[in-house]
Amino acid sequence: MTESKAQVKRPALGRGLGALIPGGSPAERKGVMNLGIEEIRPNRAQPRRHFDERHIEELAESIRSKGVLLPLIVRRDSDGYVLVAGERRWRAAQKAGLRELPVMVREVTDNESFEIALIENIQREDLNPVEEAEAYKRLIEEHGLTQEELAARVGKERSTVANALRLLRLPDAIKEAIVAGQLSMGHARALLAISDEGDLRKAAEKVIAENLSVRAVEALVQRLKSRRLPGKKRDAHGGAQVRHLIEKLQRRLGAKVGLRDQGGKGVLEIRYSSLQELDRVLAAILGE
């Protein structure tokens, strides 16, 4: 079957998915053709790498009963046809046993194909946070975009793009947990406030093991920061002096003394083992 020809215009930037796909007018959208499913190859540059098999099977069941309602978008190359948009439908159609698929053929470059796939996935919320962040990074590097320009191009707030890119600073094990759905974007944003990688890994493990909420993670991060930072400062500048004061108090009171410091505030503990020892300690404090 032959496809209808349409004049191809260079896609404009920052105008959404429709502007990136040449030949998108209502009249041109009638140019749908059927291709054998074996003639279509997935796009190796597809930003989405993880497909939920359960969702694919559900879509396959729908295709078995109703068919493929929306054509896939493909581009022609020397070896046949490459998917631009619609890989979920292509995978599900294979499971459903279809031999042919409705497609629209469009002339786009490799970069435009990647961008179309990214925008389609974002609009459908099909990317996990790490895939989305990696796709943003690639667009910034390959197109020389600022975060603000990229945000306008994909229809997101600049802060959303910035927060997504920060995920790429996380250790691989934590990024894998995000991909697996064990940690949410909210969990990840809270964990990014932990600068020490050892603390970060332990905190992530605790979040997963105890199924903590985002608010609980934020509280955990604050506790870690308040314990760690003052402790470092004290060790560097006043550790010996604090130990000397504790020893002096213990000699003066004749009892064990403990000090807990949290962010400049803390607790001074005086331990006693009997009421008689308590009386002696109080007498020493009050000068009696």
Over residues 171-195, the pLDDT tens digits come to 999 999 998 889 999 999 999 988 8
pLDDT of residue 288: 63
Cα dist. 259→107, 226, 263 in Å? 71, 15, 13
**Residue 83 pLDDT exceeds 80:** yes
Mean of the per-residue pLDDT values of the chain? 77
**Residue 124 pLDDT exceeds 80:** no
pLDDT band per the 50, 70, 90 thresholds, residue 229: very low
Among candidates 216, 173, 166, 215, which has minimal Cα distance to 195? 166
Q: What percent of the chain has pLDDT over 70?
A: 78
pLDDT of residue 125: 58
Could you read off the pLDDT of 240-270 as tens digits, one per residue? 777 778 878 877 777 788 777 665 667 788 8
pTM: 0.50
pLDDT of residue 209: 92
* Average pLDDT of the segment spanning 76-91: 84
DSSP annotation string for 252-284: HHTSEEEEEEETTEEEEEEE-SSHHHHHHHHHH
pLDDT of residue 259: 77
- 287 φ, ψ to 5°? 70, 30
231 or 148, which is more confident: 148
**Residue 204 pLDDT exceeds 90:** yes
Which domains, and CATH codes, for the chain? 9-125 (3.90.1530.10), 238-286 (no CATH)
What residues act catalytically?
A: 87
User: Which of the residue ranges 10-24, 27-41, 141-155 has the most confident prediction, judged by mean pLDDT?
Assistant: 141-155
Contacts of 5 by beta carbon, 8 Å cutoff, 6+ apart: 31
* Average pLDDT of the segment spanning 119-146: 78
**Residue 82 pLDDT exceeds 90:** no
pLDDT of residue 262: 61
Could you read off the pLDDT of 25-78 as tens digits, one per residue? 443 345 788 888 888 888 776 666 677 788 788 888 888 888 887 888 888 887
